[in-house]
Amino acid sequence: MKNFEWVSRKKVDEIATIYDSNITLNKSATSYLEKAYIVLLGIDKERHLIAVKPIRKGDTELQYIPDEQRHNITIKSSYSRISNKRFIEEIAELMNLDFEKKHYYKFEAFWSDSEQSLIIDLDKGDN
């Protein structure tokens, strides 16, 4: 029995779904943010990447983060959600997302140890 490698039914990828007013992360992506008190949102316009950096309540850097850069995250058992309509509008303009044609867009995401952030790759999606 020691030689068995147990296989999952399906590979679970980190997926970010962008709606016109929020970013919803699936359970796999949420696992990196479970202890977040707030998050920081960043964008790399040249490489089409979004960074979601979790900040815990006790983190020393929290006191240095301006209020306008703090974004609330709602964490549920199977997903999490970050709402910021203005940020989504900026993403929609950059990537030509049309929420009147399509209600949402899904993108691959991955954890970056160097950035300590969940990275959403806007070039790897269904837009």
Mean pLDDT, residues 44-70 taken together: 90
Asked if residue 78 is part of any domain, the answer here is yes
Asked if residue 96 is part of any domain, the answer here is yes
Asked if residue 7 is part of any domain, the answer here is no
1 pLDDT exceeds 60? no
Q: What sign has the CA pseudo-torsion 58, 61, 66, 68?
A: negative
Residue with tokens 């960074």: 51
32 pLDDT exceeds 60? yes
9 pLDDT exceeds 80? no
Confidence band of 70 (pLDDT split at 50, 70, 90): very high
Range of the domain at 114: 14-125
- pTM of this structure: 0.88
Q: For the chain, how many structural domains are there in total?
A: 1
Q: Around Cβ 6, how many Cβ atoms within 10 Å?
A: 4
Tell me whether residue 41 is exposed, middle or buried, using C-beta atoms within 10 angstroms of its C-beta: 0 to 12, 13 to 18, 19 or more: buried
pLDDT tens digit sequence for 98-114: 999 999 999 999 999 99
